[in-house]
Amino acid sequence: MLIKDVSIIEAGRLQSGRDILIEEGRITSVGSDLGRNSNEEEIIDGRGKLAIPGLINGHTHLAMTLLRGYADDMELMPWLQEKIWPLEAKITEEDVFWGVKLGCLELIRFGITCYNDMYYFPDTAACATREMGLRAFLSGVVFDMKPELLGQVEPFIRRWKGDELIVPTVGPHAAYTCSEETLLKVKEIADRHDAMIHIHLSETREEVDGFLLSKGKSPVEYLDSLGLVNERLAAVHCVWLSPEDCHLLAQRKANVISCTESNLKLTSGIAPLNTMMQAGINVCLGTDGASSNNNLSLFEEMKTTAIAQKNAYHTPANFSAEQIWHMATENAARAFRLGLGLRPGALADLALIDLKKPWFWPQSNIISHLVYSMAGGVDTTIVAGKVLMQNGVIPGEEEILEKAQERFLRLTS
Amino acid sequence: MLIKDVSIIEAGRLQSGRDILIEEGRITSVGSDLGRNSNEEEIIDGRGKLAIPGLINGHTHLAMTLLRGYADDMELMPWLQEKIWPLEAKITEEDVFWGVKLGCLELIRFGITCYNDMYYFPDTAACATREMGLRAFLSGVVFDMKPELLGQVEPFIRRWKGDELIVPTVGPHAAYTCSEETLLKVKEIADRHDAMIHIHLSETREEVDGFLLSKGKSPVEYLDSLGLVNERLAAVHCVWLSPEDCHLLAQRKANVISCTESNLKLTSGIAPLNTMMQAGINVCLGTDGASSNNNLSLFEEMKTTAIAQKNAYHTPANFSAEQIWHMATENAARAFRLGLGLRPGALADLALIDLKKPWFWPQSNIISHLVYSMAGGVDTTIVAGKVLMQNGVIPGEEEILEKAQERFLRLTS
């Protein structure tokens, strides 16, 4: 496949007239006039478009896209007890299948080529994701109230290890919902398979206070004492970290996935990203599930993160567009150990954005526009060299919308 | 014009199969099967689309769209002194003309049919806006450093009073940039013409502290002592209001235009909307200019306002989607005394949104989706019965983008 005459970002600036050659799922060349000697049959016209590396959504519960708008504007406990948990008790594999597909539609439309997920029925999520053509890091959720879940982790990993698109991971829900024994077990499995651990960590003040009172340790210190804090950890939220927690996470090379919009909507607080970055933590971005965000756009998440953090620290010059863009791209690629980028040898995971939208004009500072003014325009999304959306069209989209609606009506009936 | 078979929101729920009849710039009928006896030549197919009343962007500096991305991530004073003011000193009428047109493109794409603006060369802005077909409340900016501006206010009002689309207003920049004499003069002009007063008010803590120190009054109390606080006041920002300020503004029936995204980006703080609403102030939303936001989307502003306010007050159940939607629609119509809404007799200012976008699915709670998950899909925008965009196409868009780019390059050369 050859993408001809596209714009890319070089040293922070828009460069037009570039060609991108893709062979066997990887970018093999980026330059000018690559088409001259090419016999490529599949040619994508890149004129007026910007190519960016595919984005990674660092934290989702994709099947919960089915619950979007079902319960908003509630206190956390009534929300969980009266709305989310009763519905989740009824969720079937078929619900997960169509919920994940609905979520994938949205990811594709936002230029997201890979997502990191934790939910029930991960095999079903994996099948649905493969059919949609996206890349995903998937974990079944593990917590002690459903003890049968723990036993399903290793078989799931064995089934999907080595898959081209699906990377199985381990998903203990949180330190407060898993016993020490469970956490040691998931660590053992993760170590054995060199798998990532995906966990909600220090999301609320109550969680942290609870650990300090009962164990004399913060949740981060507690997890570290069990050996779970390392470069394969994706620690989600981390709203209530002490400076010591930050230094510990940095020292262990753990990754933090910040979810500003979900944290604001659920009133969990604003994560201390300034302290994290100063400590040297690899900070990435995620949207959380659509029942607490309520969409899966990383562009929106970038802007909200930048402006909420600027205001929280009274530092307008900090959390610059470049820093935030770096979090969403390079940091995420590092956390998930994915060779992403518009360069030879990288995975052919990318998106083309229509630069003719007015929010990209004047064409002054493309990174600023992507972070602060982007309001749509992803035109083409490609994963592993396969086109999932072109000219804004995703084959089969309408059937997925209808099936998702059917599943939602069944769930809530 | 007849919009056939469209969905609308009735009592918070999606109702499909509605027809909307438009005659001479107004909605004359909303119901089922209106087409049967109609000889309308212009018929818009509304199937799969949602009609909403056109949105009002309550605070903009539209010509500054030309400066989008030119200077981000800076402290306020260097930003103004090194970047914005030197550039503004060079701004010509032609720059304003194309900057406004660029901004109008964006407004149209966000379903915004009316905007409230303050900037230089308001006659030029009015001409550009009329050509684009949008409705606007326009004021030339007034402040003492350029004393010639004050004299231009009344002639501008006389020229545009009674225009179908343009409503002239008075725009004293702020209480700290206009002398008492100037403020009394603008009040006199506003009273004479029953015109709105558009002013930045209590935006930063420094502004409020300065007034308390020098005058023993808050900026709100000071303006009130001069007689400027009434139902024709559009007080923008109001980040640093005391409870007394809130009660005063409510008592006088003044309108507050809150600009959460701009306030966060410039680190001005989070406005006390909870106190304002409890006091009974009519609160509306605006984006501010594209050099401090950096786009003009009211959908984005709705979501950020909701979640930032929820978090600030730790009240997840407050600032509900319905409350925020109300601010963006009914409250705005009240502030600007515009007959908007999908009902007979209302202005034919509306937008059609493509409901086939995945962020509207499952179709559970349409108001929640519009506020929290909307990420594009405005398909058609109509002002005064005239179609400005249909199927996402705005005639002449490309020329405007190119002209705006030329003007930006000239300005920054």
Give pLDDT tens digits for A275-322. 999 999 999 999 999 999 999 999 999 999 999 999 999 999 999 999
What was the pLDDT predicted at A4? 96
Q: What is the pTM of this model?
A: 0.98
| Among B148, B109, B104, CA closest to B124 | B104
Token pair of B340 as six digits: 């908007």
A151: left (phi over 0), alpha (psi -120 to 50) or beta: alpha
Quick: pLDDT tens for A189-214: 999 999 999 999 999 999 999 999 99
Nearest to B373 among A295, A306, A358 (CB): A295
Give pLDDT < 50 ranges for chain A: none
Nearest CA in chain A to B295: A373
Please, what are the domains in chain A? 2-53+348-397 (2.30.40.10), 55-335 (3.20.20.140)
| Residues from chain B contacting residue A102 (CB–CB below 8 Å) | 358, 361-362
Which residues between 17 and 36 in chain B have a beta carbon less than 8 angstroms from any beta carbon of chain A? none
Is the C-alpha dihedral spanning B370, B376, B379, B383 positive or negative? positive
Quick: pLDDT tens for B216-272: 999 999 999 999 999 999 999 999 999 999 999 999 999 999 999 999 999 999 999
Angstrom distance (rounded) from CA B141 to CA B321: 34
Instruction: Determine the Cα–Cα distance for residues A221 and A206; give it in Å rounded to an integer.
Output: 16
Measure the CA–CA gap between B359 and A65, rounded to whole angstroms: 9
Q: What's the confidence (pLDDT) of residue A41?
A: 81
Asked if A375 and B297 come within 8 Å (Cβ–Cβ), the reply is: yes
- pLDDT-based confidence at residue B404 (cuts at 50, 70, 90): very high
DSSP assignment of A160-187: HTT-SSEEE-BEE-BTTTS-HHHHHHHH
CA proximity to B201, closest of B67, B71, B59: B59
Tens of pLDDT along A380-402?
999 999 999 999 999 999 999 99
Of B317, B366, B400, the CB nearest to A75: B317
With both helix axes pointing from N to C terminus, report the angle between A180-193 and A153-160 in degrees, rounded to the nearest 10.
Answer: 20
Summarize the confidence of residues B314-324 as an average pLDDT: 95
Q: Does B255 touch chain A (CB under 8 A)?
A: no
Contact B232, B193 (CB under 8 A): no
Q: Which tokens hold the place of A220?
A: 């981060």
For residue A256, which of A199, A210, A204 has the smallest C-alpha distance? A199
Contact of A269 with chain B, judged by CB distance below 8 Å, is answered with yes
A306–B contact, CB cutoff 8 A? yes
Contacting A residues, span 58-87, partner chain B, CB-CB under 8 Å: 66, 68-70, 72-76, 79
- pLDDT, residue A109, reads 98
pLDDT at position B37, please? 65
- In this prediction, residues B9-13 reach a mean pLDDT of 94
Q: What distance in Å separates the CA atoms of residue B97 and residue B99, rounded to the nearest whole number? A: 6
Inter-chain CB proximity B358 and A106 less than 8 Å? yes
